[in-house]
Copies of this chain bind each other. A is one copy, B any other.
Amino acid sequence: MNRRIRITVWNEFRHERDVKHPSRAVYPDGVHAVIAKGLAAEPDFEVRTATLDEPEHGLSKETLEATDVLTWWGHGAHDEVKDEIVERVQQRIVLGGMGLIVLHSGHVSKIFRKLMGTTCKLRWREMGEKERIWVVEPNHPISAGLPPHFEIPHTETYGERFDIPAPDALVFLSWFQGGDVFRSGCCFNRGIGRIFYFRPGHETFPIYFQPEVQRVLANACRWAAPSGCPPTQFGHVPTPLEKC
């Protein structure tokens, strides 16, 4: 693919519009604005944003058709995402090859649960603990350019058991100060689409400003971009290839 990768950065964008919410101090223009700015610095990316309260959640058929990779941040309003739109996003991934990057609390978004088939639940705690992310697969495209480990100074903690299918590749593991571990970078192939779950990214910590995190997101978008394979032909094939 020689043209630029077209990325749509999706955000629930509710916390940051609530004047009383602590996320406003960190992400006054929304989590998506910071993610999009980081990605837009890459010369091979073309970035737009979409949010829950736009018509069709900003995810019209036209927008999805013109999206190579969708990043997803949601937290408190997962249930407000319409089933019809979730279905549309799933189809675009599985049948059309769009990539999906699911971030942090997006683990219980409708779209991630629909693609995984499990509850995607986990254990959590919000104490601003330190997280250290270890690279388990150093030659995976998503860990390119990263050191063997890097730290998130303060974060919400997620701990195992994380109820997901065994990932097709496990790229990162997290260590937490409070004694927990987590599979924090997980790749999945579903249909002809690729999905990456990345754990870091709480709305009250400046995690999406960190260069290592921005690097992971950029790597993940390149990895998840469509391979360009045509839609698969399914269904009735009346004539056998060999004489029966």
Contact = CB atoms under 8 A, between A and B. Distances in A.
Contact of A138 (B119, B148, B161, B194): B161
Interface stretch (A7-15, A31-39, A45-53, A224-232): A224-232
Contact of A234 (B163, B165, B166, B238): B163
Contacts of A163: 94, 191, 232, 234
Contacts of A241: 132, 149, 178-180
B237 A124 contact: yes
Contacts of A118: 94, 190-191
B189 A165 contact: yes
A79 to B, nearest CB: 15
A114 interface: yes
Contact of A227 (B139, B165, B174): B139
A149 to B, nearest CB: 8
A43 interface: no
A215 to B, nearest CB: 13
A121 interface: yes
A188 interface: yes
Interface in A17-31: none
Size band of the A side of the interface? 35 or more
A197 interface: no
A40 interface: no
9 contacts: A119-B191, A130-B244, A132-B241, A148-B161, A160-B173, A161-B234, A174-B181, A175-B175, A179-B241
Interface in A137-193: 137-141, 143-144, 148-149, 157, 159-163, 165-166, 168-170, 173-181, 183, 188-193
Interface of A: 90, 94-95, 97, 114-119, 121-125, 127, 129-130, 132, 134-141, 143-144, 148-149, 157, 159-163, 165-166, 168-170, 173-181, 183, 188-194, 226-229, 232-242, 244
A194 B114 CA distance: 18
Contacts of A134: 159-161, 180-181
B178 A170 contact: no
A180 B175 CA distance: 7
A121 B234 contact: yes
Given A138-B161, A139-B227, A144-B229, A121 B177 contact: no
Contacts of A169: 166, 168
